[in-house]
Structure 1
Amino acid sequence: MTATDPTTPAEPDGPDTAKTTTSDRTTPGALPLPAGAARLITAAGAAATFASTMLAWTWTAEFPGDLTYYGSPVDLQLLTLVGSVLTLLFLLSGAYRVRGLRWLTPGGTHSPVLLLALGTLGTTWYTAGAITGTLGGIVNFEPGMWVAVLATLTTVAGALGLPADTPYEPLPGQERPNPWQRLLHSFKAPAPTPAKELPGWAEILVIAVSFGAGLYLFTYGIDTSYGELFVGYLVLVGFAAPALGRAGLTRRLAGLTGKHRTISLTAAFVAAACFPFTQSSDQYTSVAANILIFATVALGLNVVVGLAGLLDLGYVAFLGVGAYAAALVSGSETSVLGVQFPFWAAVLTGAGASLVFGVLIGAPTLRLRGDYLAIVTLGFGEIFRIVMENLDGSSGPSVTNGANGIANIPDLEIFGFNLGEDHTVLGFELGPFANYYLLMLIFTIIVVTVFRRADRSRIGRAWVAVREDETAARAMGINGFRVKLIAFALGATLAGMAGTVQAHVTSSVTPEQYQFVEVVPPNSAFLLAAVILGGMGTVSGPLIGASLLYLIPAKLQFIGDYQLLLFGLALVLLMRFRPEGLIADRRKQLEFHDTGQLDVPKGTPGLSKTGA
């Protein structure tokens, strides 16, 4: 947007408008297009993309979703339609400054448009590739597919011609950034702008609507009926999420949730509790229940890795200790103890057994640091699995039935409420996995509360001090060994508590469930990846990371052995472009990114130029 552009308002609308105008005059786009022409091309491409979804994309119903209808977009067409609408809305808000839509871009103006255009292109071109691979060539394209492919490419070309939101210094010999540099530059967050104060009721309403939208997005993703639709959903959401961040909406919502923290946590768990009521069967509530187990264990590992900085590669063993302890006292016919504890006693048994093992393992090993500690914990994880296999009555005492494990674990019964039976609640039919999901949600609330209290306590500050520099922490009077042992024991206890529920959800416990690396989580490698992917030291980070790492393999079973390859590629890209994780605290952001501040002040400390 230049000073002579007719779309530039005569009077600035606020600090964000003034900043945008200055940025546009100094920051070129990747393509040599005038700002006005780039906007028109982007708008025309987004409109044509929208129109393409009203046409048939293929001629046969053999491709999943049946994209053969006119005027009735479904599945992947709907994703492209949503992407085109969002691209057009953010273009009108950021570039054209349409009154009534300016709240969509409180921070950035053009970067969200480019990211959404790329997300729409990715979803559409992936659909084109899937049709080609499934049906055998582009000859199966109908006119709507060709229009969509060309329209999304036009939208991206126009968005690349838009100026960047933040100042850009071209490399020597360059007049403007190339498309790749422009794309990377779009991920750079603009400077914060003053937020308009809202009434208290409006802020609470925004929080409630946001969590409701999050519930809808999660439900849509987990309910996708075939893998191609889930991949398209991931592509669009993967670009839409940073687009909201670059627009400044994520920062505004974070400010509101921080201001109303109790209301935000309540809204989050109410939205999560509503999920089983959106399902008509247990097909996906079983996935959701296992996601909560995985996420809860990852949050316990976050105490060890994220707060105390202890690299634990055998953490899944504590989950196994809790599960085996609960299975032995569950009343199962294959249990050698032959006893059945009530639910609360089984939980205490599993958590207590994990606590004891955490102290026994941590006491002699936590005096090690770094790689040595990681190797020891990895060895403990493997020793646990091997010992469980050998306690079969032939290689050792008959305790765990060896590789066969403890099977036929009966369902939990709490206050006469059998979680293994169907129940009608508020007119909705809840199956066994929905019951276990709600039970696990209560456990998640407990773990989140413990994590938050510990993080803000004196021991939590000691963990952070030991994580940053144990030598300096010990010099300040902190007993490093003691605080690390507390972290190790607390993390083990939380994992054991989750293991008691896992034993009843899976109905059996076997040693193979607790390996270091396995295609199906939870395992130590995936738990550690969930903490790092989501963001170490945060509450929501491991929950989101664990949800993604469990949901993606569950929904992408059609790609078979390529799951681990794609998982490794995703980790490489994440470590390259966002090493602090998806949800990072301020400390990690300052640690991994250049803030523009000098590490060492210029001049000689304590001396003036004349004195020197």
Structure 2
Amino acid sequence: MTTQTTASKTADAPTTGADTGLIGIPPHLGRALATGGGVLTVLSTFLAWTWTAEFPGDLTVYGYPGGLQVLVLIGGALTALLGLASYGVKGLGWLAPAGADAGLKLAALAAFATAWYTVVAISTQLGGVVNLEPGGYVVAAATLIALLGSLALPFQRPEPDPVDPDDTGWEQFKHSAAQNWQTVRAAFASGTPRPGRALPSYAEILIIVAVLAVALLVFTYGIGTEYDELFVGFLIMAGLGFAALNKSGLIGRVTQITARHQNITVCGAFVAAACFPFTQTDDQYATLGVYILIFATVALGLNIVVGLAGLLDLGYVAFLGVGAYAAALVSGSPSSPFGVHFPFWAAVLVGAAASLVFGVLIGAPTLRLRGDYLAIVTLGFGEIFRIAANNTDGTSGPDLTNGSNGVSSIPDLKILGWDLGIQHDIAGFTIGRFANYFFLMLVITAVVVLVFRRSGDSRIGRAWVAIREDETAALAMGINGFRVKLIAFAVGATLAGLAGTVQAHVTYTVTPEQYLFAGTTPPNSAFLLAAVVLGGMGTIAGPLIGAALLFLIPNKLQFLGDYQLLAFGLALVLLMRFRPEGLIPNRRRQLEFHEEADAPAVLSKTGA
């Protein structure tokens, strides 16, 4: 066996060529400790970690991991596998195309963080470390050994920048901190990926199927976490585990495969999503699923406005409200002053058309503005819509929206005789009300994705990108900037209204307070914009994943109470600091923040 080492350079610092680790353990011993610690971590999950079942997850059983033990088991297994891959074990090279050392450090950190979080949680909730069983001590020691061993792996340190003796003490401290940060970055830098072996098309398609199956499994596990401690552990393991696989080059290799089969990947993703309700035993988590799809669809519509055309819209949630109100008023609600009950397809057209009209009416006089001025105007429109909906109650204004009480008792949809409000049995599976709406929303999401892909790759899509990059240059090249921006505004508003028509029936009631600029729960304009930026502007998968995270995390972290927004804000600050291009950026935007050599491959120019 041959030992692989990752000797990567940071993009912005020269290197000395000296390969040393962060801590003073011999590299060969550190590699052995990391690999052995990973194996010991796996074994420790089969021991009892506490003596009482009062801690959620029942960690008292020998021979059967449960709760947080499963997550630590995954982290330990990943650490052990990357450790073996770093030794050059045959059959594991696929796991680390860019070298195993950087991924090994992050995998060990993932196992350590999850295990020690569990140990601390047990000690805190049950009243001290005396409540730990031997397995708790073993996993704490094993993960610490693995982490220390991984930090001893060699890497090329940046060339030290001499300190100016005339600097003040504070300036010297900042200089030292910057040098230390460069060293840490170099320690976790990945190497240059090895060229992949050419695979037949059927093998690559099977890999895509496997990846989508894993993604469905991870999402189902995350959405089904039953207690707070397990969800926090899931976030730790999922985040650091993904980072480890990304640094090892596996994510980049899979991305290259999906880029060669974009249509199959997109279709497979929708098939995997359609399987989600069949993995649930009741309608509880299908509720979250349908709300996530509504939020994600609206975020994808905003991505046309912000991500492709570069127009900062801070009142976008109002278009969702326009579509929801328009559909609610013509869908047979007793609160509607019109007293009509349109079929679903007609209500959808009314909602989408109403949002389109409002998009044109708002965009026509305002899109000649740029930057912050446009953002202020759109923010004002969002507030005007909410206030107007509050006042059109028959007292302060015309009787249209029933004021703050909203349009209530909106009946469930019936499509081709299929009542979405009742349970149905399909192939032995019971599909509840929210699962029915989940399937409907999945179809609408597919339509929005199709519109985004086709428009992004079209002539008008290229004009949007040109306007976003440099409007003055685009105008000089003959692009009609006002018309192009108005089309983006109108298309984005229409897609939001389309999602709003379904939201009205899912929630039974439409009220003005559902469409705020900012709040603790999405959808609101601030969260929608955050979903686009978090996921990756100008891509398809980015806003969908960003919206899923931003809806699921606040829902699961309600135990934080008033500190929820603080934690959310800190997470966004860290993301913007370390990955400003978003989780799934397109190639152009990624190169704005990284050198060519450091920018991993992405799916396409629109991130399909």
**TM-score clears 0.5:** yes
Counterpart pick for 1:158 among 149, 152, 157: 149
> Counterpart of 1:217 in 2: which secondary structure?
helix
The separation in 1 between residues aligned to 2:153 and 2:179, in whole angstroms, is 13
Give per-residue Cα distances to partners, 1:191-217, cap 9 Å, x unaligned. 232110011211111111110111011
Deviation at 1:336, TM superposition (A): 1.0
Are the aligned partners of 1:301 and 1:491 in contact in 2 as well (CA < 8 Å)? yes
Are the aligned partners of 1:355 and 1:490 in contact in 2 as well (CA < 8 Å)? yes
Deviation at 1:21, TM superposition (A): 11
Structure 1 partner of 2:68: 76
TM-score (norm 1): 0.92
Deviation at 1:492, TM superposition (A): 0.2
Structure 2 partner of 1:342: 343
Q: Mean Cα displacement is larger for which, 47-56 or 516-525?
A: 47-56
Deviation at 1:186, TM superposition (A): 5.0
The separation in 2 between residues aligned to 1:366 and 1:405, in whole angstroms, is 31
Aligned residues with identical type, % of pairs:
62
Are the aligned partners of 2:27 and 2:154 in contact in 1 as well (CA < 8 Å)? yes
How does 1:523-602 map onto structure 2 within 5 Å?
523-595=524-596
Q: Mean Cα displacement is larger for which, 499-508 or 37-46?
A: 37-46
Structure 2 partner of 1:39: 31
Counterpart pick for 1:111 among 102, 105, 114: 102
Number of matched pairs: 580
The separation in 1 between residues aligned to 2:406 and 2:37, in whole angstroms, is 59
> Counterpart of 1:337 in 2: which secondary structure?
coil
Structure 1 partner of 2:46: 54
Deviation at 1:372, TM superposition (A): 0.6
Structure 2 partner of 1:171: 160
The separation in 2 between residues aligned to 1:498 and 1:47, in whole angstroms, is 48
The separation in 2 between residues aligned to 1:358 and 1:21, in whole angstroms, is 49
Are the aligned partners of 1:29 and 1:182 in contact in 2 as well (CA < 8 Å)? no
The separation in 2 between residues aligned to 1:100 and 1:179, in whole angstroms, is 36
Structure 2 partner of 1:439: 440
Deviation at 1:72, TM superposition (A): 1.7
Structure 2 partner of 1:606: none
Structure 2 partner of 1:384: 385
- The answer to whether the aligner puts 1:130 opposite 2:130 as a matched pair is no
The separation in 2 between residues aligned to 1:42 and 1:542, in whole angstroms, is 36
Supply the RMSD in Å over aligned alpha carbons: 2.1
Q: Mean Cα displacement is larger for which, 414-423 or 582-591?
A: 582-591
> Counterpart of 2:430 in 1: which secondary structure?
strand
Structure 1 partner of 2:130: 139
> Counterpart of 1:27 in 2: which secondary structure?
strand
The residue type paired with residue 372 of structure 1 is Y
> Counterpart of 1:464 in 2: which secondary structure?
helix
The separation in 2 between residues aligned to 1:20 and 1:569, in whole angstroms, is 32
Structure 1 partner of 2:91: 100
The residue type paired with residue 571 of structure 2 is A
Structure 2 partner of 1:366: 367
Q: 1:203 to 1:458 in 2, by over 3 A?
A: same
Are the aligned partners of 2:6 and 2:154 in contact in 1 as well (CA < 8 Å)? no
Are the aligned partners of 1:30 and 1:178 in contact in 2 as well (CA < 8 Å)? no
The separation in 1 between residues aligned to 2:180 and 2:111, in whole angstroms, is 17
Are the aligned partners of 2:157 and 2:187 in contact in 1 as well (CA < 8 Å)? no
Deviation at 1:34, TM superposition (A): 2.2
The residue type paired with residue 492 of structure 1 is A
Deviation at 1:24, TM superposition (A): 13
- The answer to whether the aligner puts 1:304 opposite 2:305 as a matched pair is yes
The separation in 2 between residues aligned to 1:399 and 1:336, in whole angstroms, is 6
Deviation at 1:47, TM superposition (A): 2.2
Are the aligned partners of 1:42 and 1:157 in contact in 2 as well (CA < 8 Å)? yes
Structure 2 partner of 1:8: 2
Structure 2 partner of 1:352: 353
Give per-residue Cα distances to partners, 1:343-363, cap 9 Å, x unaligned. 011001000000000000000
> Counterpart of 2:425 in 1: which secondary structure?
strand
Deviation at 1:107, TM superposition (A): 1.3
Deviation at 1:138, TM superposition (A): 2.4
How does 1:170-319 map onto structure 2 within 5 Å?
170-172=159-161, 181=182, 183-185=184-186, 187-319=188-320
The separation in 1 between residues aligned to 2:193 and 2:34, in whole angstroms, is 26
TM-score (norm 2): 0.92
Deviation at 1:44, TM superposition (A): 2.2
Deviation at 1:189, TM superposition (A): 4.0
The separation in 1 between residues aligned to 2:188 and 2:274, in whole angstroms, is 34
Give per-residue Cα distances to partners, 1:53-89, cap 9 Å, x unaligned. 1222112111111211222210101111111011100
Deviation at 1:558, TM superposition (A): 1.7
